[in-house]
Amino acid sequence: MENLFEKPLVTVDIIIFTVVDSDLKVLLIRRGVAPFKDMWAIPGGFVRSDETLEEAASRELVEETGAKDIYLEQLYTFGNPKRDPRGRVITIAYFALINSENIKLHATTDASEAKWFSIYDLPQLAFDHKDILDYALKRLRWKLEYTAIVFQLLPKRFTLAQLQKIYEITFHKKFDKRNFRKKILILNILKEAGAQKIVKHRPAKLYSFKGKIERIIEIF
Protein backbone atom coordinates (compact mmCIF):
# COMPACT_ATOMS: atom_id res chain seq x y z
CA MET A 1 0.00 0.00 0.00
CA GLU A 2 2.87 2.29 0.73
CA ASN A 3 4.32 2.32 -2.75
CA LEU A 4 0.91 3.02 -4.25
CA PHE A 5 1.79 6.68 -3.76
CA GLU A 6 5.44 6.42 -4.64
CA LYS A 7 6.64 9.51 -6.46
CA PRO A 8 7.08 9.08 -10.19
CA LEU A 9 10.04 10.30 -12.19
CA VAL A 10 9.23 13.31 -14.35
CA THR A 11 10.91 14.08 -17.63
CA VAL A 12 10.40 16.43 -20.54
CA ASP A 13 10.71 15.20 -24.12
CA ILE A 14 11.06 17.58 -27.02
CA ILE A 15 9.92 16.93 -30.55
CA ILE A 16 12.00 19.22 -32.69
CA PHE A 17 10.65 19.81 -36.18
CA THR A 18 12.30 21.49 -39.08
CA VAL A 19 11.89 21.70 -42.84
CA VAL A 20 14.99 21.08 -44.95
CA ASP A 21 15.50 19.77 -48.46
CA SER A 22 11.76 19.87 -49.12
CA ASP A 23 11.11 17.50 -46.27
CA LEU A 24 9.67 17.72 -42.77
CA LYS A 25 12.20 16.37 -40.33
CA VAL A 26 12.39 15.54 -36.67
CA LEU A 27 15.48 15.26 -34.50
CA LEU A 28 16.06 11.87 -32.88
CA ILE A 29 18.88 10.57 -30.73
CA ARG A 30 20.29 7.10 -30.57
CA ARG A 31 20.04 5.56 -27.12
CA GLY A 32 23.35 4.43 -25.62
CA VAL A 33 21.89 2.45 -22.74
CA ALA A 34 19.26 -0.18 -22.01
CA PRO A 35 16.34 -0.43 -22.28
CA PHE A 36 15.93 0.03 -26.03
CA LYS A 37 19.71 0.33 -26.40
CA ASP A 38 20.76 1.53 -29.87
CA MET A 39 17.19 2.42 -30.79
CA TRP A 40 16.20 5.93 -31.79
CA ALA A 41 14.28 8.11 -29.35
CA ILE A 42 12.93 11.60 -28.87
CA PRO A 43 15.43 13.76 -26.96
CA GLY A 44 14.57 14.58 -23.38
CA GLY A 45 15.72 14.57 -19.80
CA PHE A 46 14.76 14.95 -16.18
CA VAL A 47 13.09 18.02 -14.79
CA ARG A 48 15.22 19.64 -12.11
CA SER A 49 13.57 20.75 -8.94
CA ASP A 50 14.37 24.43 -9.43
CA GLU A 51 13.16 24.93 -12.98
CA THR A 52 9.79 25.26 -14.65
CA LEU A 53 8.75 22.63 -17.17
CA GLU A 54 9.30 25.07 -19.99
CA GLU A 55 12.78 25.88 -18.69
CA ALA A 56 13.58 22.19 -18.59
CA ALA A 57 12.41 21.77 -22.16
CA SER A 58 14.30 24.84 -23.27
CA ARG A 59 17.47 23.62 -21.58
CA GLU A 60 17.23 20.25 -23.30
CA LEU A 61 16.65 22.02 -26.58
CA VAL A 62 19.82 24.04 -26.20
CA GLU A 63 21.75 20.95 -25.20
CA GLU A 64 20.61 19.08 -28.30
CA THR A 65 20.71 21.77 -30.93
CA GLY A 66 22.66 24.70 -29.52
CA ALA A 67 19.77 26.87 -30.68
CA LYS A 68 18.26 29.49 -28.39
CA ASP A 69 15.06 31.51 -28.66
CA ILE A 70 13.23 28.78 -30.47
CA TYR A 71 9.48 28.39 -30.59
CA LEU A 72 8.46 25.92 -27.92
CA GLU A 73 5.03 24.77 -26.88
CA GLN A 74 3.72 22.19 -24.48
CA LEU A 75 2.17 19.27 -26.31
CA TYR A 76 0.75 16.64 -23.99
CA THR A 77 1.68 14.65 -20.91
CA PHE A 78 2.17 10.92 -21.26
CA GLY A 79 1.94 8.90 -18.10
CA ASN A 80 0.98 5.32 -18.76
CA PRO A 81 2.45 3.35 -15.84
CA LYS A 82 3.92 0.81 -18.25
CA ARG A 83 5.48 3.19 -20.74
CA ASP A 84 8.95 2.72 -19.26
CA PRO A 85 9.86 -0.82 -18.17
CA ARG A 86 12.14 0.51 -15.44
CA GLY A 87 9.35 2.13 -13.46
CA ARG A 88 6.92 5.00 -13.35
CA VAL A 89 8.07 7.83 -15.59
CA ILE A 90 5.75 10.63 -16.55
CA THR A 91 6.88 12.77 -19.44
CA ILE A 92 5.67 16.17 -20.46
CA ALA A 93 6.16 16.41 -24.21
CA TYR A 94 6.98 19.73 -25.85
CA PHE A 95 7.30 20.52 -29.46
CA ALA A 96 9.73 22.95 -31.01
CA LEU A 97 10.05 24.50 -34.45
CA ILE A 98 13.41 25.52 -35.78
CA ASN A 99 14.23 27.00 -39.15
CA SER A 100 16.76 25.58 -41.53
CA GLU A 101 19.15 28.51 -41.07
CA ASN A 102 19.53 27.75 -37.38
CA ILE A 103 20.09 24.11 -38.08
CA LYS A 104 23.10 24.69 -40.20
CA LEU A 105 24.67 26.81 -37.50
CA HIS A 106 24.24 24.26 -34.76
CA ALA A 107 24.17 20.79 -36.19
CA THR A 108 27.40 19.91 -34.44
CA THR A 109 26.15 18.72 -31.06
CA ASP A 110 27.11 15.15 -30.44
CA ALA A 111 26.66 14.45 -34.12
CA SER A 112 27.23 10.72 -33.98
CA GLU A 113 24.20 10.31 -31.75
CA ALA A 114 21.66 12.80 -33.10
CA LYS A 115 20.13 12.78 -36.54
CA TRP A 116 17.31 14.38 -38.52
CA PHE A 117 14.75 11.92 -39.84
CA SER A 118 12.04 12.53 -42.37
CA ILE A 119 8.69 12.36 -40.67
CA TYR A 120 7.60 10.13 -43.53
CA ASP A 121 10.46 7.67 -43.09
CA LEU A 122 11.03 6.98 -39.43
CA PRO A 123 13.00 4.22 -37.75
CA GLN A 124 11.47 2.17 -34.98
CA LEU A 125 11.28 4.25 -31.84
CA ALA A 126 11.89 3.48 -28.16
CA PHE A 127 9.18 3.54 -25.48
CA ASP A 128 5.89 5.12 -26.61
CA HIS A 129 7.75 7.66 -28.67
CA LYS A 130 5.94 6.79 -31.87
CA ASP A 131 2.64 7.76 -30.24
CA ILE A 132 4.15 11.00 -29.02
CA LEU A 133 5.42 11.81 -32.50
CA ASP A 134 2.06 11.05 -34.09
CA TYR A 135 0.43 13.38 -31.65
CA ALA A 136 3.01 16.08 -32.34
CA LEU A 137 2.42 15.83 -36.08
CA LYS A 138 -1.32 16.22 -35.61
CA ARG A 139 -0.74 19.29 -33.50
CA LEU A 140 1.71 20.75 -36.00
CA ARG A 141 -0.77 20.36 -38.83
CA TRP A 142 -3.49 21.92 -36.83
CA LYS A 143 -1.31 24.87 -35.84
CA LEU A 144 -0.22 25.47 -39.40
CA GLU A 145 -3.82 25.57 -40.50
CA TYR A 146 -5.13 27.90 -37.83
CA THR A 147 -2.23 30.03 -36.61
CA ALA A 148 0.72 31.95 -37.99
CA ILE A 149 3.19 29.45 -36.61
CA VAL A 150 4.65 28.65 -40.02
CA PHE A 151 7.05 31.58 -39.79
CA GLN A 152 8.93 29.73 -37.08
CA LEU A 153 10.00 27.25 -39.72
CA LEU A 154 11.21 29.92 -42.12
CA PRO A 155 14.19 32.25 -42.09
CA LYS A 156 13.50 35.97 -41.56
CA ARG A 157 13.18 36.56 -45.27
CA PHE A 158 11.55 34.01 -47.52
CA THR A 159 9.71 33.61 -50.79
CA LEU A 160 6.07 32.73 -51.17
CA ALA A 161 7.17 29.52 -52.87
CA GLN A 162 9.10 28.50 -49.73
CA LEU A 163 6.06 29.25 -47.62
CA GLN A 164 3.78 27.22 -49.85
CA LYS A 165 6.27 24.38 -49.89
CA ILE A 166 6.05 24.01 -46.12
CA TYR A 167 2.30 23.61 -46.30
CA GLU A 168 2.60 21.10 -49.10
CA ILE A 169 5.12 19.06 -47.18
CA THR A 170 3.31 18.97 -43.90
CA PHE A 171 -0.10 18.31 -45.40
CA HIS A 172 1.31 15.99 -48.01
CA LYS A 173 -0.63 17.56 -50.86
CA LYS A 174 -0.39 20.27 -53.50
CA PHE A 175 -2.05 23.65 -53.29
CA ASP A 176 -3.00 25.95 -56.13
CA LYS A 177 -0.36 28.65 -56.44
CA ARG A 178 -2.71 31.51 -57.26
CA ASN A 179 -5.17 30.73 -54.51
CA PHE A 180 -2.41 30.19 -51.98
CA ARG A 181 -0.73 33.51 -52.70
CA LYS A 182 -4.02 35.37 -52.68
CA LYS A 183 -4.99 33.86 -49.35
CA ILE A 184 -1.69 34.72 -47.70
CA LEU A 185 -1.36 38.23 -49.10
CA ILE A 186 -4.91 39.23 -48.23
CA LEU A 187 -4.11 38.56 -44.56
CA ASN A 188 -1.78 41.52 -44.71
CA ILE A 189 0.78 39.97 -42.40
CA LEU A 190 3.74 40.06 -44.77
CA LYS A 191 5.90 42.90 -45.97
CA GLU A 192 8.13 42.88 -49.02
CA ALA A 193 11.80 42.55 -48.24
CA GLY A 194 13.79 42.75 -51.44
CA ALA A 195 14.42 40.05 -53.96
CA GLN A 196 16.40 36.89 -54.37
CA LYS A 197 19.87 37.10 -55.86
CA ILE A 198 22.02 34.63 -57.73
CA VAL A 199 19.29 32.42 -59.03
CA LYS A 200 19.31 31.12 -62.56
CA HIS A 201 15.75 32.06 -63.31
CA ARG A 202 13.43 34.95 -62.59
CA PRO A 203 14.23 36.02 -59.00
CA ALA A 204 11.36 35.83 -56.52
CA LYS A 205 10.34 38.61 -54.20
CA LEU A 206 11.33 38.09 -50.59
CA TYR A 207 8.90 38.71 -47.76
CA SER A 208 9.15 38.97 -44.01
CA PHE A 209 6.52 38.48 -41.36
CA LYS A 210 5.11 41.80 -40.20
CA GLY A 211 3.51 41.06 -36.87
CA LYS A 212 4.91 40.25 -33.53
CA ILE A 213 4.88 36.50 -33.88
CA GLU A 214 3.63 35.97 -30.35
CA ARG A 215 0.52 37.97 -30.96
CA ILE A 216 -0.83 35.89 -33.80
CA ILE A 217 0.19 32.52 -32.48
CA GLU A 218 -1.89 33.07 -29.39
CA ILE A 219 -4.95 31.76 -31.15
CA PHE A 220 -4.39 28.91 -28.80
Q: Which residues of this chain interact with a copy of itself, rule CB under 8 A? A: 3-10, 46-53, 74, 76-77, 79-81, 88, 90, 92, 138, 142, 220
CB count in 10 Å sphere of residue 183:
11
Nearest Cα to Cα of residue 79 among 8, 179, 175, 150: 8
For position 68 contacting DNA by CB under 7 A, the verdict is no
Closer residue to a copy of itself, CB minimum distance, 47 or 163: 47
Closer residue to a copy of itself, CB minimum distance, 77 or 118: 77
To a copy of itself, the closest distance from the beta carbon of 162 in angstroms equals: 27
**E strands, the chain, in order:** 9-20, 23-30, 40-41, 44-46, 71-78, 89-97, 114-118, 190-195, 205-209
Of 145, 183, 194, 218, the residue at the interface with DNA (CB under 7 A) is: 183
User: Reduced to 3 states, what is the DSSP secondary structure of residue 219?
Assistant: coil
Work out whether strand 40-41 and strand 89-97 pair parallel, antiparallel, or are unpaired: unpaired
Amino acid symbol at 3 = N
Site string for DNA, 186-205 (x = CB under 7 A): x--------x---xxxxxxx
For position 219 contacting DNA by CB under 7 A, the verdict is no
Site string for DNA, 142-171 (x = CB under 7 A): -----------------xxx----------
Cis (ω within 30 of 0) for the bond into 155?
A: no
Partner from a copy of itself, DNA, none binding residue 77, C-beta < 5-8 Å depending on class:
a copy of itself
Closer residue to DNA, CB minimum distance, 53 or 204: 204
Of 38, 51, 176, 218, the residue at the interface with DNA (CB under 7 A) is: 176
Nearest Cα to Cα of residue 101 among 20, 8, 35: 20
Partner from a copy of itself, DNA, none binding residue 106, C-beta < 5-8 Å depending on class:
none
The residues with which 115 forms a beta bridge, in sequence order, are: 28
